[in-house]
Structure 1
Amino acid sequence: MGIINTVFMSTKQLLFSFLFFFTLSLSAQVEPISFISHRVKKKETLYGLARKYDVQIEQIYKYNPLIKKIGLKKRMLLQIPVYLKPKPTTKASLPDTLSMYLVKPKETKWRLAYRYGITVQELEQYNPEIASGLKIGQEIIVPKRSEAETLALEKEFNYYKVKPKEGFYGLEKKLGVVASDLIALNPLLKTNGLQAGMILKIPLGLTGDLKIDDDLLVEKNNLLDSIPPDSKVTLGLLLPFKSNQIEFDSIQDTETKLKTRNLHTIALDFYSGAVMAVEEAASLGVEVVLNVLDTQNDKQYLKSKLDSLNWSDNDLVIGPMIPSNFDILSLQDSLKLIPMIAPLSSNPVINRPNVYQSITAPELLREKMFDYLDTAIDSTQNVLVIADSLNYEIEEKLLNRYPFAQVLRPEPGGYVVPDLIDSLLVDSLTNKVVFESQNLGLIASVTSLLNSQVSKDRDVQLFTTYRSNAYDNSNISKKQLGNLRFTFTAGTFSDESKRTRAFDSLYLSSFGDLPKREALRGYDLTLDVILRWAHKKQLSSDALGETEYIESRFDYVPHKDQGYQNRAYFLLEHQGYELSEIKK
C-alpha cells in the first residue's frame, strides 16, 4: 500500500500542472478563427444550432446579441463562430504519470475512482467530458498504475462515496463503522484524510439506513420529506367489493363471506390500506380527495358507471384490480390521459401510454436473477439444473449460460429419484442447484431431498429464477429452505422491522385486526402514488427514483412498447429461519 500512497500523492501534485496546461490550450481559443452565416429555419432552436455547429449557446449569443432582445426568429441571419479545435489527447501526449483507459461495460465513475486511488471529482477533472456519465468504449485519462497498484473491488464489502464536509463522526452515525475500522480498511485515509468524492470500503453488514445500488451505498429516496405546500391529489380507486352480492340483512351470510379469502375480502383489505395511506398523506400536508367505485367485477356495469360519473376529474386512478377489467377501462376516452395504475395482479395488462404496471413483472425478476447467477456461479463449482417440462425453455437458457452444468429432469410422475440426486452432488466442490418448477408437489419433494444431502462435508445451495406462490404453502419447510440458503428475486418483501408498532396499533384500532398483505399493498401503493404526484405531478421521473415502504418498492420506467413498468425488486435469501435481503 505504501507504493500506492506515494504514486497517489505524486499524481495529485501533477494533476494541477496537467490541468493548467489543458486549460491554457482551451483559453487560447477565446477568439474564433472565422464565422459561418446561418439563416434560421422554422422550428430551429439555439440548442439544435449549438449541437449542429459544435459551439456553446453562450458563444452564439455573444456574436448575435439581438437574440437576447427579441428571441430567435425565423429568417434571422446569424453569425456562427468557428474555433480552432484542440488536438485530441493521446497516449503519446500524456505525462508519464497518466495513461489512457478504455471504459468497459458496467463500469462507473466511482468504481474507476476507487480502483485508481483518486476521488470522483479528480477523475472528472482529468476528463471533463464524463461529467454527465461514462460511455462504453470511451477513452479516458487515469493515473498510471501497475496491476499490483490498482485496488480491486471485493464482493465481501460495500462501498461509500464521501460527501462534502463529512467527517468520521458523521460516518459512524450514518453507517455504524468507527474511524479505526475505516482506516484499517482504507489505508489512504492515513495519508490523505477524508476527502469529498473519496470511495471507502465498508464492512458488508454495516449499511445504516442506506440502500445498496450496484455495491455502492446511497441514500434512499424519501418522498415523505419536503412536500410542496398546498399539495392536493384527487385519486380514483376502483375495487371489486361486489357489495351487490352481500345480503346485509343476513348477518350469518355476511360473516361467512367475509371470513374466506375472496374478491370481497381482498378488495376490503386493499381499501383499508389505501385509507391508512390517505390519512398518512393528510398528516404530511397533502390534501387527498378519494373517489371510490365498486366495480362489482362486472365490465358492463363498470362502463355504464363511468359514463354517468365524471372520472376525468381524477389526477390518478388505481384499479380496476382484475386485468381484463383494467384493460377495458384504460381504453376509455375519458381516462386515456389519466395515469392508471394496475394494483395487484402479476398477470400482464395491455400497455398503453397512461398505464403503470405496479407489480414487478416475472420476466424482469427472472432477468435480474440471471444477472445475479452470473456472479454466483462459475465452472469451479458443481452446478445442477433441475427443471420440469413446463420450464425446458429456462433450462436451455441456463445451459447456454453455464454449459458446464449437469441436468436432472424429473420423472413423468412429478418426482426425482433420490439416488440420482445423491450421485450428482459431490463433497469436494460447492454444489449450486438451480431449480425451475411451480408445481407444489415437486417443490416439496426436491427441497426435502436436497436438504437431506446437506452436511458438514457437502455444501448445497438452492436457487430459482422465478419463485411462485407455491413456496408459501405450509408443506414447504422454511427450515429446509434456510439450510439450503434458497435464493431468489421478488417484487415484495415482508420485513417486520419496517412495520412499526404504531402502524399496527392504528390499523388494529381502525379495522379490528392486524393488516394482511393486501392491506399493506394498498397502503404502500396508494401512499407512493400520492407522494409522487404531490412532488412532481407525474409517477415516472429520474428525480423521484426508487421508493420503498413497508413491503414494496417502486421505480417506474418506460416499457419497451408503451406505458410504464415497475422495475424495483428484492434479492432474498433464506438464512436459518429468517428471510433476508442480500447484496445484488
Structure 2
Amino acid sequence: MKRIKFLLVILLMCTINLVAQQKKYVSYTVKKGENMKSIAKDYKISTRDLLKLNPDIGRKPRPNTVIIVPNKNYGKNVTEGNEIDNYFYIVQPKETLFGISKKFNISIDALKKANPELEYGLKIGMQLKIPSTTENNVNDAANFILHTVVKDDTVYNLTKKYEVTESDLFELNPSLSEGLKLGMILKIKPINTSEILEDEVLTETGLFIENLNLEKTLNIAIMLPYELNKYVDSIPESTLLKGNSIFNIATDFHMGAEMAIDSLKRKGVIINVRYFDTQNSNYKLQTIVDRNDFSNTDVVIGPLFYNKAYWLSKNINVPIIAPLYSKDQDGLSAANLIKSDSNSPNFLEEKLLDYMKKNYKGENIIVINDGDEASQSKLWRIVNKIKSFDSIQNVSVIKSNKGFIDNEKFIEKLEEDSNNWVLLISEEIVTTAAAVNNLKATIEEYNIQLFASSKGRNFDNIENSFLGQLNFVFPTTDFIIIEDVNVKSFYNNFRAKNYTYPSKYAIRGFDITYDTLVRLASDESLEGGLKAGKSSRISGTFNYNKKLFGSFENNGVYIVQYNKELNPVIINE
C-alpha cells in the first residue's frame, strides 16, 4: 500500500509537469466558494468540458483542490523562437494518423507534408511537427460546443437539436460541403451560449451524472485470489489471456481498483477499504465470512469468479459485484448479486439484432454461415429473428463448404439497386476470410455492409482497411477510444506506476470499482445509484437493470463501426 501511494504522488507530479510543458493547459487551485460551473465561466468553456479535463473531480471541489484548466495565454504572443516548440506533438501508443489529424483539425496530407519521415510509418514516441496554420484550431474544444457525427445524424437534425442555422454550421465547418461523415467532429457554436443546453442534453440522454456526497463514508471490501497461481477446473482456460495466471489477473485487477479508489479519494470521497485473499476457495471464503463482520459494509467487489461471488451472495446480506462474465451466471441469480459483465454470445447477438431492426429500411440481407452442425441452431434462430423485422423482403443464407464460398452463388444473392447487409454467423477463421474476400471482390459494384455478433480472433488476420471499406459493424461490451484524453491519462498513469501498460483486467478493475463507488457516493443506496443511468468509463459501459426477483444486470453495450478512414467509432447512443 505504501508503495502504491508513493507511486501515485510521483505520478501526479509527472502529470502536472507534462501539462506545464505542453502549455495548452495549466493547473489551478480552487478557492473557497468556487465550483466547476463558476470556474468554467471564468475560463469561457462549458462545465461539461471542464469536467472532462478533470475526470477525477466532481462539480463541487473542495477549496485548495488542484485542477487543470485551459491556459488563457495559449497561442498568444508566440514569438518566432518558441513557435516550433508549441507545435510539436509526441505520438502515443495505438494512435493513428487519422486520430492525430482529427485532434488538431488538419488533414493527413498536411501532416505528411510537414513530417516527411511519416513515409516510413507512424511510430510510438515519434515527434511530429503540427503545421502552425492550426494555431486557431487547437483550442476548439475550449471555445466551441463540439459534436461527433453518429449514424442517422443530418444537418437538419443538428440545427434543431442545437438551435443553430445551417449557414452558421457550414461557416464553422467548411468540410460539411462534402457531406456528413461518421466520426466527423463538428464545431456547433461558441461555448458561452450553451450552459443551459448542456445540462438539457445530458438529462435527455439518460446519462449517469456524478453528484458526490462528500459527507458520506463508503465502507467496501475487495475479495480477490491473490495467492492462487494455477488454473482451476471450473474456469475454462479460453477465458483467460494466454500467459496469464489467475494470480496475475487478480493483481492486475487490484492495481486498477486501487487507482479508482485513489481517484475518488482525491475528489474528497471518504472510503474505508478492506482486502481479503479468497485463494479461490470456498473453504477460505467460509473462513472470511465466519471471522469478519460485514454488517456495515456497503458493497463487496469480488470474488473474482462468478461461482464464488454467487456463493458469497447467499452467505452475507451485502451487495456483491461479480466482476467477470461466466456462462454460469445465466442460471444463477440473487437479489444482492450484481452482474457487472454481460459479455455472453446471446447478449451480444440480441443487441446487434436490436440495432439492425431499428435501422432496417428494406436492405437485402444475406447471412453467411460455416455449415458446421454445432452452429445450425444459432443460424436459424438468428434468421427467424431477422424475418420478424417489419417489411422484411427476403433473407438469403449461404453456407461455406470447408471454408470455401462459391463466388458466383454469392453474387447471385446481391442486389445492385439495394443496400446489401451481410451478416457473418461463424467464428471459423477460414470462413471469415472467405466471406471478406468475396465481399472485397464486389465492393466496387455493390453497396455492402458487413455485420458480425462479435469481433473475435477470426478477424485477427483481416486488414482494417477491408473492414473500413465494408463499414463493418459489431457489438462489444468494452471499447477504448485511444484519442480520448481520459484514456490517455489512465494509460500514462498506469505506466508511470507499473512500468507497463494496463492489461484488460487492470482496466476492468478500474472501471468496475470507479463506477460502483461513484454510484454509491452519489445516492443514498447502491441500488439507487445503479438505477441512475448509463455511464462509460475507460473501456466498459454500464447500464444496469433489475430483474424481477433476481439480480441487477449490466445491459451496457457499444455498437461499433469501422468507417472508410479506418477509424472505429461508436454508432449507438
TM-score range, shorter chain: 0.5 to 0.7
Task: Please say if residues 396 and 413 of structure 2, whose CA atoms lie closer than 8 Å, have aligned partners that are also in contact.
Answer: no
Task: Please say if residues 207 and 217 of structure 1, whose CA atoms lie closer than 8 Å, have aligned partners that are also in contact.
Answer: no
Give the C-alpha shift of residue 277 in structure 1.
0.2
Task: Please say if residues 157 and 204 of structure 1, whose CA atoms lie closer than 8 Å, have aligned partners that are also in contact.
Answer: no
Structure 1 residues 528 and 319, CA gap change in structure 2 (3 angstroms): same
- List alignment gaps of at least 5 residues for structure 1: 1-153, 164-170, 185-202, 247-256
Q: Distance in 2 between matches of 1:227 and 1:368?
A: 32
Task: Please say if residues 507 and 513 of structure 1, whose CA atoms lie closer than 8 Å, have aligned partners that are also in contact.
Answer: yes
Q: Is 1:553 the counterpart of 2:535 in the alignment?
A: no
Corresponding position of 2:35: none
2:154 alignment partner AA:
E
**Which residue of the other structure, out of 285, 292, 317, is the alignment partner of 2:275?**
292
Q: Is 1:419 the counterpart of 2:408 in the alignment?
A: yes
- Secondary structure at the counterpart of residue 237 of structure 1: strand
Structure 1 residues 220 and 507, CA gap change in structure 2 (3 angstroms): same
Q: Distance in 2 between matches of 1:330 and 1:551?
A: 27
Corresponding position of 2:318: 338
Q: Deviations over 1:82-107 (max 9, x none)?
A: xxxxxxxxxxxxxxxxxxxxxxxxxx
> TM-score, with normalisation over the residues of structure 1?
0.58
Q: Deviations over 1:314-358 (max 9, x none)?
A: 2101112222222222211xx2x2111111215352221111111
Structure 1 residues 213 and 327, CA gap change in structure 2 (3 angstroms): farther
**Which residue of the other structure, out of 510, 529, 539, is the alignment partner of 2:526?**
539
Corresponding position of 2:434: 445
Q: Distance in 1 between matches of 2:511 and 2:402?
A: 42
Give the C-alpha shift of residue 561 in structure 1.
4.3
Corresponding position of 1:483: 469
Give the C-alpha shift of residue 447 in structure 1.
2.5
Corresponding position of 1:231: 216
- List alignment gaps of at least 5 residues for structure 2: 1-151, 172-182, 192-196, 232-239, 370-374
Structure 1 residues 491 and 346, CA gap change in structure 2 (3 angstroms): farther
- Secondary structure at the counterpart of residue 326 of structure 1: helix
Larger radius of gyration: 1
Give the C-alpha shift of residue 519 in structure 1.
1.2
Q: Deviations over 1:255-308 (max 9, x none)?
A: xx9992232222221111101001101101112222222222223333233323
Q: Distance in 2 between matches of 1:440 and 1:211?
A: 46
Moved more, 396-405 or 556-565: 396-405
Task: Please say if residues 264 and 514 of structure 2, whose CA atoms lie closer than 8 Å, have aligned partners that are also in contact.
Answer: yes
Q: Which has the higher contact order (CA 8 A, sep 6+)?
A: 2
- Secondary structure at the counterpart of residue 496 of structure 1: coil
1:512 alignment partner AA:
Y
- 1:162-241 aligned at under 5 Å gives the runs 180-181=167-168, 206=186, 218=205, 220-223=207-210, 226-241=211-226
**Which residue of the other structure, out of 349, 352, 356, is the alignment partner of 2:338?**
356
Task: Please say if residues 286 and 534 of structure 1, whose CA atoms lie closer than 8 Å, have aligned partners that are also in contact.
Answer: yes
Task: Please say if residues 482 and 488 of structure 2, whose CA atoms lie closer than 8 Å, have aligned partners that are also in contact.
Answer: no
Corresponding position of 1:371: 354
Structure 1 residues 504 and 204, CA gap change in structure 2 (3 angstroms): closer
Q: Is 1:523 the counterpart of 2:507 in the alignment?
A: no
Q: Distance in 1 between matches of 2:198 and 2:562?
A: 20
- Report the RMSD for the aligned CA atoms in angstroms: 3.8
Q: Distance in 2 between matches of 1:433 and 1:215?
A: 35
Corresponding position of 1:272: 255
Q: Distance in 2 between matches of 1:298 and 1:451?
A: 51
Q: Deviations over 1:55-109 (max 9, x none)?
A: xxxxxxxxxxxxxxxxxxxxxxxxxxxxxxxxxxxxxxxxxxxxxxxxxxxxxxx
Q: Distance in 2 between matches of 1:212 and 1:487?
A: 31
Task: Please say if residues 539 and 556 of structure 1, whose CA atoms lie closer than 8 Å, have aligned partners that are also in contact.
Answer: no
Give the C-alpha shift of residue 242 in structure 1.
3.2
Task: Please say if residues 559 and 565 of structure 1, whose CA atoms lie closer than 8 Å, have aligned partners that are also in contact.
Answer: yes
Structure 1 residues 371 and 244, CA gap change in structure 2 (3 angstroms): closer
Give the C-alpha shift of residue 438 in structure 1.
3.0
**Which residue of the other structure, out of 501, 505, 509, is the alignment partner of 1:514?**
501
Task: Please say if residues 212 and 521 of structure 2, whose CA atoms lie closer than 8 Å, have aligned partners that are also in contact.
Answer: yes
Task: Please say if residues 399 and 405 of structure 2, whose CA atoms lie closer than 8 Å, have aligned partners that are also in contact.
Answer: yes
Q: Distance in 1 between matches of 2:202 and 2:264?
A: 33
Q: Distance in 1 between matches of 2:403 and 2:199?
A: 39
Task: Please say if residues 211 and 219 of structure 1, whose CA atoms lie closer than 8 Å, have aligned partners that are also in contact.
Answer: no
> TM-score, with normalisation over the residues of structure 2?
0.59
Q: Is 1:503 the counterpart of 2:490 in the alignment?
A: yes
Q: Deviations over 1:355-388 (max 9, x none)?
A: 1111135444433322321243333x32212244
Moved more, 262-271 or 301-310: 301-310
2:221 alignment partner AA:
G
Task: Please say if residues 244 and 296 of structure 1, whose CA atoms lie closer than 8 Å, have aligned partners that are also in contact.
Answer: no
2:289 alignment partner AA:
L
Q: Distance in 1 between matches of 2:327 and 2:247?
A: 20
Task: Please say if residues 241 and 267 of structure 1, whose CA atoms lie closer than 8 Å, have aligned partners that are also in contact.
Answer: yes
1:307 alignment partner AA:
D
1:552 alignment partner AA:
G
Task: Please say if residues 229 and 245 of structure 2, whose CA atoms lie closer than 8 Å, have aligned partners that are also in contact.
Answer: no
2:543 alignment partner AA:
D
Structure 1 residues 289 and 469, CA gap change in structure 2 (3 angstroms): farther
Task: Please say if residues 207 and 533 of structure 2, whose CA atoms lie closer than 8 Å, have aligned partners that are also in contact.
Answer: no
How many percent identity over aligned positions?
23
Q: Distance in 2 between matches of 1:360 and 1:558?
A: 13
Q: Distance in 1 between matches of 2:412 and 2:198?
A: 41
Q: Distance in 1 between matches of 2:451 and 2:295?
A: 46
